[in-house]
Chains A and B, each alone.
Chain A
Amino acid sequence: MQKDELAKKGVPVQDDLILVDRVLAGDRRAFEPLVRRNERRVFRVTLSILGNIEDAEEAMQDTFVKAFRHLDQFRKEARFSTWLTRIAVNEAVQKRNTRKNFVPLADVDNSEEQFTPKRRESWRSNPEQVYGKQEIHRFVEEAIQSLPEIYRAAFVLRDVEELSAEEAAAVLAISVPALKSRLLRARLMMREALSEKFEEPPTLKTKIVHTALDVGTAVAMRLMRAAGR
């Protein structure tokens, strides 16, 4: 996210740096507004990696304690929030690795294989008329929680926290192409999960029309391919 976009959201980047300087100069109280501005992001990140509130809470506390104690190591080339996010990812990953039932997720990263969308119906034009705001909020959280961790972390950093692809890749210590490939998979899985709720129930008429269109497209593509030979 660019600086002007951040400013629009009411998070002046410059203010974080001023607060950091005040803490470093001995004004410990200046750390509190830094926590307020960033607690939600840190919580989302730790939750996206750990998958449950108890562990996410512990990792969030450890993140802020560590950030406070090591604030002098913050180099101002990056934004404070990005530096903090990196600590949060490390804390959460460390915590996850100590779990008894932990299976290294790098081993199950099959994002190179293409994901095929199964649901192909359009969505209702206005889901808000069918579901309440609270309900939609719950669907979104459940869909995010249902993603496998590597996809969930990529999705939360990029599409919820709106980090740039480069920042998200750096935070997760993976390459930018790897991040993009995980993000694509995550988005398609999210679409699939929410389709269950938001799809337009197909009428017999639309089914017939769609089948006819699909057949027509397939024929047209064959003809085009044949013409190209």
Chain B
Amino acid sequence: MKTMDCKDVLANLSCYIDGEGSAELRTALEEHISRCRRCRVVFDTTGRMLKIVTDAEPFEVPLSVSARLYARLEKVLSES
């Protein structure tokens, strides 16, 4: 099996997170991470970042913005 260096791990990080890549690539990445603390930290914290972002549900539409949207659409919808 081909071994991966830190640069390869970084380049394939996103693919791995998204469940892509061959079994061989995924195993090589896991093998590297198991013995490289620095890459393991980047890998773990990237996963945690994604979870935090999903849970946070960022950017609500402000109420005033929403109200003005419906007011404008009201006009457009009543045009003949």
User: Which single residue of chain A is at the shortest CB-CB distance from B75?
Assistant: A65
A13 at the interface (CB under 8 A from B): no
Q: Give the docked Cα–Cα distance between A69 and B73 (Å).
A: 11
Instruction: Say yes or no: A117 contacts B56, CB within 8 Å.
Output: no
In the complex, what residue of chain A is closest to B77 when comparing beta carbons?
A28
Residues of B within 8 A of A127 (CB): 52
Q: How far is the CA of A175 from the CA of B21 in the complex (A)?
A: 18
| Contact across chains for B61 and A40 when beta carbons are under 8 A apart | yes
In the complex, what residue of chain A is closest to B18 when comparing beta carbons? A165
Contact present for A35 and B59 (CB under 8 Å)? no
Cβ-based interface call for A57 (8 A): yes
A94 close to chain B: CB less than 8 A: no
In the complex, are the beta carbons of B58 and A31 less than 8 A apart?
no
Q: Which of A14-22, A78-86, A99-107, A210-218 contacts B (4 or more CB under 8 A)?
A: A210-218
Interface residues of A in 131-189 (CB under 8 A from B): 136-137, 140-141, 144, 159-160, 165, 180, 183-184, 187-188
Task: Say yes or no: A195 contacts B14, CB within 8 Å.
Answer: no
Is residue B24 within 8 Å, beta carbon to beta carbon, of the partner chain?
no
State how many angstroms separate the Cβ of A223 from the closest Cβ of chain B.
Answer: 12
Tell yes or no: A7 within 8 A of B by CB.
no
Residue in A121, A136, A188 whose CB lies within 8 Å of B46: A188
A5 on the interface (CB 8 Å rule)?
no
Q: With contacts A140-B56, A194-B49 known, is A39 near B10, CB below 8 A?
A: no
Q: In the complex the two chains form, what is the Cα distance from A165 to B2 in whole Å? A: 27
Tell whether A117 pairs with B77 under 8 Å between CB atoms, given A140-B52, A214-B37, A220-B35: no
User: Within the assembled complex, what's the spacing in Å between the Cα atoms of A44 and B56?
Assistant: 14
If the complex has contacts A39-B61, A43-B61, are A64 and B14 also in contact, measured as CB distance less than 8 A? Answer: no
Report Cα–Cα, A190/B18, bound state, in Å: 16
Which chain B residues border A60 with CB–CB below 8 Å? 61, 65, 69
Q: Decide: B49 and A190 in contact? CB cutoff 8 A.
A: yes
25 A-B pairs whose Cβ atoms sit less than 8 Å apart in the complex: A31-B73, A35-B70, A35-B73, A43-B61, A47-B59, A53-B65, A60-B69, A61-B69, A61-B72, A64-B69, A65-B73, A122-B41, A123-B45, A127-B52, A137-B56, A144-B58, A159-B53, A159-B54, A180-B14, A187-B50, A191-B42, A191-B46, A191-B49, A213-B37, A220-B35
Residues of B within 8 A of A (CB): 3, 5, 7, 10-11, 13-15, 17-18, 35-38, 41-42, 44-46, 48-50, 52-54, 56-62, 65-66, 68-70, 72-73, 76-77
